[in-house]
Structure 1
Amino acid sequence: MSFILTRDLISNRHDEPGPDIPAMFEQTDRLIRLRDEAPIDSEEFAETVRAIIDFQREDGSFSYLSSYEVPSDARVDFVYHPTYICCQILIKAMLSGSPNKNILPALQRGLEFSCSRRLMGHGIDGLRDQMRTVQDFIDSGIMTILDYQPDLCPEFTAMLIEIAEEYAKMIEDCDTILPFGNDVTVKMIRIVKTLNGPVSVPVFVYGTLMSGEANHYLIEDCEHLGPAAIFGFALHDLGAYPAVKYTEKPLTATGELILCDADALERLDILEQLGSLYDRAVANAFMDDGPVFKAYVYVYRNEVTDDSRVPEELQPWPYLKELQRTHVWYVAYGSNLLRERFMCYIEGGFCEDNGRAYDGCRDKTAPLFDISVTIPYNVYFGNKSASWGNSGVAFLDTSRTGLAFGRAYLVTKEQLADIHEQEGNGANWYSSKQLIGKHAGIPMITFTNTREREHVMPSKAYLDVMQRGLTEGAGALTDELAEEYLQQAIER
């Protein structure tokens, strides 16, 4: 059955009816179906080619409109878009070996007209429409035609080269994420590869894709540039995998920088569930040896907690996973708030604050890191400690919720056991281990006694050590707040 193309004239008179827009869209849809689905050796396809040639206007277009004095979107939809599709059908007809001698001149004129708008769409979708049209020309076989007919349409060839160069620059600048989250990175890389040769983009990876990790096989054929860090992002441990999130704090996430082609990037998009679990974003990646690259990074879409944030000292993520097997946070809330005092438990030696010597841990390695934390119980003072002049020392009241300020030291599990013995692992002292929570996936443990101890006033030396600890380090209290906090603990 022959396909008859129809024209709908635009009238300059307001009292005459306008074009049948639904019919024109229907006609375009049928052209697309014929281009993509009709067998090129079928009579239907041959009839369509003849109809297209007869339909061509003097300016070379295959426009539905006799007047171009219409809005830009109407010109795209009813002048340029039909022209592109008709040219693509003619390309397929040429490649099929059709004997119709009118195909070549019709295609030449159609391609010349196609250059006038550089294949662009309209509005915010202009670039995406251009990319779709370029890909449609590629799929129709334009590159094959130009290989054996290089002079077919020099203007069209030059335009494709210019578009490829523009896309390559966008890829280099990591400028392929369009407004409203329209990510055209993979499609653009594929287009440039076809028109201008292979191209790759820097991607910052920070978890299971890193060297030696479970999903590294997905990118093992990519070029690895080396260790890198991105500023303005926080790394979070989610258990089986990590995530980065934007942050206004001066934080850094560390990982590796690789170069991905379209195939590798597409594999990563599937792994990261692009658009549902992660989004692609742009970051400045700093290499250890100085260079800075604009790179893509997968940013987690869902909410995270501050407890899951991985301090920079515990990165990259594979290092953290090893620490999760070997280390714990020891949470101090009494005299061990002061690092100098706590180090007597680690290294051993004489403590000037209470005049006592300590054996220290079997492993005398200093804690890898320490952070300020809050504890969901109140502190009170009890028992009579010989180490502190038979005065009270700090305990946690675990019978009810409250608030205490603590300091968490990252130590080995063996060191935690040795610290527990030095603290007093006995029925009347610190017999109970308490899991406070986790930070960066590492358990936070402290010691107390679940039976309330006799309340006893602490010594001035003990309170002085606690106050110095409360005002020391990151997240520290002011002297005034530390004094108020200790006074409240005394009064309990």
Structure 2
Amino acid sequence: MRMTPSSHSSLKKAFFKKNTYGGITMNKIKLTRQDEPDFDELYRMIGELKDFLKEDMGSRNWMKNLETILDFQDTDGSFKLFTSYEIPSDARVDFCHMPTYICTAILMKSYLIGDSKLSKKIDRPLRRGLKACCMRNLMGHGYEALEGQIEALNIFMKAGLREFIDLYPDMSRKFSKMISNICGSNFEMLESLRNALLGPWGEDYKEDILKINKYFNTRRVFVYGTLMNGESNHHFLENSNCLGASTVEGYQMYNVGWYPAIVPGDGMIIGELYEVPQEDMARIDMLEGEGSLYIRKCEMTSSKSLAYIYEFLEDTEGLDRISSWKDYIWYVSYGSNMLYDRFICYIEGGSYEGSSSYRMPCEDTSAPVEVRAVEIPHDMYFGNYSGSWHGGGVSFLDTEKDGHALGTAYLITREQFEHVAAEENGGRYPDGTGNWYEDIISLGDMDGFEMLTVTNKKPREQNEPSEEYLETLKRGIRENWPDMSEEDIGRYLNSCIRE
């Protein structure tokens, strides 16, 4: 085999500089073992495996690709890309050990969030893969030993390493012990060296070690009921960091009384994602009755983050099914609030460029759970004289007849919507008596949540918009309707200017 460490390293850098892989609609993975090195092919396989680790389980070709990985596992439990370990040591790390780490991480992630049938299917291959991962303590080659170890840890962290060890510490005690020893020794080394952990060429690994240490000392938890912001048990998360609103698919919610319950089903659960100190998890488990009333499981959230979620263990017969614990609605904007940066001023407070108005913050400053482009069955037109937009007209809906307008729907709480509606109306909640946004209009429902917007049912005096207002609308349309050409955007907005 004609391969030297230097030729391998230079090709490695060149390949990853010019090749990237998108992880949304990847093709079927193709894996082969080589006797002689084909570097382009080797790096293609590594790239595809790394991409697959990022994939959602429901994405195209997901199950076929998982089958390919399972079929590729070698008799020693590894997923090496060469027929033998008898190759230069740096290539052995990159093409034998690294693909084993990635493939085992893929199995780990699948085991965590898959159903019982899938977990049973991959149980033995995962155990064998974990054993194969313990061959060299995850270290890289030579001078890159620590760098390689950090890279390997990051691969497993993407697969939910801490949750896996929490839930299944005995699946491979050797692997669990290895991870504990690596993290403990690296952090101790960092502290002993006075917070400076340098590599052989002076590279500082302090931030990498601190990031890994933080990862293992926190847990991500998806909450959907009384632990949410503003609810009765939110104080249990006083030491936690809120990462924002999020959702989890594949469950349905029931009202137990003063708290909700979720069980597997066909719905989407809306909640909040938190980073919780590990030492606080016992209190939360006790609150939830973990193991008796609820069971703590691991799921993938819409934030592309693995998180713990508490599933109800008792019978839900006779309980009312609800869409969410908090009262959520879709606020549909068809004007300047189609642009996210403009809309978020109504939630967080502040002013948007081009407008002279300052918006008061909402009591709940949580970002929208979801944002979607929608079509509205009424025409939009420009009317009134807005001091905030230099005397130009602003958007209203003509609700007297059917039509067509572009809109952006934000999934927010009803309280947030009421705040936005009041801010749109000069600080006063719409009551149908004034000249601005006095009427709340229902546009039906989407995914079980009502769609509401604000306008004025009485036709407003028509007035052309300012250039600043038009540009804000254009930006909002581009953001939500990326396939529309500039010509189409211009034609649409011109059609809203009435003579």
Q: TM-score, normalised by structure 1?
A: 0.37
Greater Rg over alpha carbons, structure = 1
Q: TM-score, normalised by structure 2?
A: 0.37
